[in-house]
Chain A
Amino acid sequence: MQDAEGQPVGSPRLITQLGPWQLRSPILAASGCFGYGREYAAYLPLQRLGGIVTKGTSLKPRLGDLPPRMVETPAGMLNAIGLQNPGIETVIQAELPFLHRYGVPVIVNLYGTTPEEYAELAARLDGVEGVWGIELNISCPNVAAGGILFGQSPILARQVTEAAKRATHLPVMVKLSPNVTSIVEIARAVEDGGADLISLTNTFRGMAIDLHRRRPVLGNLSGGLSGPAIRPLALQLVWEVAGTVQIPVVGIGGIVSGDDAAAFLMAGASAVQVGTAQFIDPTACVRIADELEATMNREGFAQIADMVGAARQ
């Protein structure tokens, strides 16, 4: 399939209804793994993505964590980037116009240290061209203040969600942390707070130790685990949350193939995000979409919606 300008847009069978959005594909690029789209534009047709979730963005610029920021682990990696970003104003002025050219749905991932900051960020994006929605990162394991703290308390998670909802007309997706005792409690709180969608999961907190230097490898000491290593853990959490809330769920965690994506859809996710897989295959989002169509053919699904929750019946 091609659009009016002759650009490939992918098969109509991949069209996905995700809450308020109709997307060309159920495969979105996950936050922090796709920058603001520039780097990967040379490798794949951005307009074929279901959407791009940007790097976590805060009010002021952030330098991020002390290196080393990344270490490879079995079938996974730990990162402690510390939400390095140029700040919301620069993102709006210098980054988002680039993505807007491609017509790809953009969801801006936001990070704040208070509910008021989340609200200010949400309000600032209201009406910005090309922005389809926001994703509240209440789950970053690598920053001291805010972030994950909000994701670990049902009361705070709800407050942050409400604050953002009040501040913007944009659909609000809330991204959950797996580093909690009961993820369904947080999911319910976020739904009660008015979230339009829930995405999960962010990375699992982890550590690696350098035996020779006799200290943790990462500058931040601990980091967030991503990649295939977390896939079964994330899948189970998606299953739990999708069985609890009425709002659509977006599955994230270690997806590297069409079959992986299909598993998250069957567990109840309406769409998925792909993060780490891109570092290995920069065309991952498009390849996985094509593979998913092959999975649909093989397993006898006519459209994406038929797959959603198929393992729950």
Chain B
Amino acid sequence: MVKLVGQIIENRPIEEGTFEMIVAVPPTFSYLPGQFLHVRVADSYDPLLRRPLSIAWAASGRFGLIYRVSGRGMTMLSRKRSGESLDFLGPLGQPYPLRTDRPRAFLVGGGIGVPPLLGLAEALSEKGISVTAVIGAQTKDGLLLLDRLQPFGKLLVATDDGSVGFAGTAVQCLEERFGSGGERPQESVIYACGPLPMLRALDELAQRWRIPGYLSVEESMACGVGACLSCVVLRRGGPGESGRPQVVRTCVEGPVFASGELLWEAWEQPKWWEDTEETPT
């Protein structure tokens, strides 16, 4: 949890529109899968803020970031060359818990949510867990990191347009596997990272099948360290907490949350924030 500077060893496109940056750091650097870095992409103040990026993998003395060149910040990052330095805060946030009490793990990734699953797949398979990656995208071209995930276990692929693999979303693909009896939900854990609708559907699936699930959420962040309260989501109040929802920070209490914890309705319904607010009298 400190401000660090690493040296860029490599920064190149690995797939259409997607870059991998490899950064050298002191050998003492370590992280847990699911954690992220808050990266400075420019020396100037425009764009102003750091960018949150998951650590995709780490080996002794280096780590990899895998990012889609979307907006201005990622474009600037993609122009950095080997030998230049990278200024970052981290590792930040709560990692995926590595559950060894159930022998099977389904790692569900959509779009640019796939990178953190790489390090997670490695960590789980090292612990003897049987890993299945379920990777979804709109089309064949959007599928990310299939070759890199392959060595750690099985691979299921879903495309919205059916151009390859299952025709539908990654969540529908998983649902079908469970429904057809081809998998053993009672022995499984779900880990996921991807867009909000995917996480929400997966949360519902996990609860219906009574499978422990861990979901990594993306919210816009300013500070990345818990000070500004920009990145909040609502967590259901547990028993003993008077049942009131709690505001939690994606950057500190997240980005990984357990299935069943998040109040998805709160993203679209102001009433959750109003009704529960004790306005001063």
Chain A residues near B (Cβ < 8 Å): 32-35, 38-40, 42-43, 55, 58-77, 79, 81-82, 84, 112-113, 117, 145, 219, 227-228, 256, 276, 278-283
- Residues 211-270 (chain B) with a chain A CB within 8 angstroms: 219-234, 245, 247, 252, 266-267, 270
Do residues B278 and A282 form an inter-chain contact, with CB atoms below 8 A?
no
Return chain B residues, CB-CB under 8 Å to A72: 47-49, 220
B45 contacts A228, C-beta separation under 8 Å:
yes
Range class of the B interface residue count: 35 or more
The verdict on A64 contacting B247 (CB below 8 Å), with A43-B3, A228-B45, A280-B48 known, is: yes
The 9 closest A-B pairs by CB, nearest first: A70-B230, A35-B227, A75-B46, A39-B227, A279-B223, A39-B226, A60-B278, A279-B222, A63-B277
Contact of B225 among A40, A68, A256 (CB under 8 A): A40
Q: How many contacting A-B pairs (Cβ < 8 A)? A: 124
Contact flags (1/0) for B20-55 with A, using CB distance below 8 Å? 000000000000000000001000011111100000
Chain B residues closer than 8 Å to A70, beta-carbon distance? 220-222, 228, 230-231
B234 to chain A, nearest CB (A): 8
Q: Which residues of B contact A33 (CB under 8 A)?
A: 223, 227-228
User: Other CB < 8 Å A-B pairs besides A59-B280, A228-B48, 11 of them?
Assistant: A33-B228, A40-B225, A60-B278, A63-B234, A64-B229, A75-B45, A79-B222, A227-B45, A279-B228, A282-B225, A283-B3
Sample of 22 A–B contacts (CB below 8 Å): A34-B227, A39-B225, A40-B225, A43-B225, A58-B280, A60-B280, A62-B279, A63-B273, A63-B277, A65-B273, A70-B230, A72-B220, A73-B48, A75-B48, A79-B222, A219-B270, A276-B48, A279-B49, A279-B222, A280-B45, A280-B49, A282-B223
Give the chain B neighbours of A34 by CB distance below 8 A. 227
Which B residue sits closest to A281, measured CB to CB? B3
Q: When A75-B48, A219-B270, A276-B48 are in contact, do A282 and B3 touch as well, CB less than 8 Å?
A: yes
A77-B222, A278-B223 known; A60-B232 Cβ under 8 A: no
Cα(A278)–Cα(B225), bound, Å? 11
Once bound together, how far apart are the Cα atoms of A113 and B229, in whole Å? 21
User: Does A68 lie within 8 Å of B47, measured CB to CB?
Assistant: no
Residues of A within 8 Å of B49, CB to CB, are 72, 77, 279-280
When distances are taken between beta carbons in the complex, the residues of chain A under 8 Å from B149 are none
CB–CB A68/B219 < 8 A: yes
Min Cβ gap A75→B in Å is 4
Interface of A is mostly: loop
* Chain A residues with CB below 8 A from B45, complex form: 75, 227-228, 256, 280
Contact partners of A81 in chain B: CB under 8 A: 228-230
Contacts of B180 in A (CB 8 A): none
Find chain A residues with CB under 8 A from B46 CB.
74-75, 228
How far is A112 from B266 in the complex, measured between Cα atoms in Å?
25
A283–B49 Cα gap in the complex (Å)? 15
B281, closest chain A residue (CB): A60
Contact status A67-B232, CB under 8 Å: yes
How many Å lie between the Cα of A65 and that of B281 in the bound state?
18
- Nearest A residue to B42 via CB reads A280
Give every chain B residue within 8 A of A84 (Cβ-Cβ). 229, 232, 247
* B273: contacting residue among A64, A75, A117, A279, CB under 8 A: A64
What's the Cα separation between A18 and B25 when bound, in Å? 43
Closest Cβ–Cβ distance, residue B281 to chain A (whole Å): 8
Is B270 touching A69 in the complex (CB atoms < 8 A)? no
Measured in the bound complex, the distance between the Cα atoms of B46 and A99 in whole Å is: 33
Residue of A nearest to B40 (CB): A280
A67 and B267 within 8 A (CB): yes
Query: Which chain A residue lies CB-closest to B71?
Result: A72
B219 to chain A, nearest CB (A): 7
Q: Is B89 an interface residue (CB 8 A)?
A: yes
One of A71, A79, A219, A227 near B228 (C-beta < 8 A): A79
A76 contacts across to B, CB distance below 8 A: 48
Contacts of A73 in B (CB 8 A): 48
Given contacts A67-B219, A68-B220, A70-B222, contact A62 B278 (CB under 8 A): yes
B70 interfacial contact with A, CB 8 Å: no
Q: What's the Cα separation between A279 and B221 when bound, in Å?
A: 9
Cα separation A33 to B220 with both chains bound (whole Å): 16
Q: How far is the CA of A67 from the CA of B272 in the complex (A)?
A: 11
Partner of B48, one of A32, A77, A278: A77
**Assuming A77-B222, A280-B48, is B279 touching A60 (CB within 8 A)?**
yes
Chain A residues near B89 (CB, 8 Å)?
282
Which B residues are CB-close (under 8 A) to A58?
Answer: 280
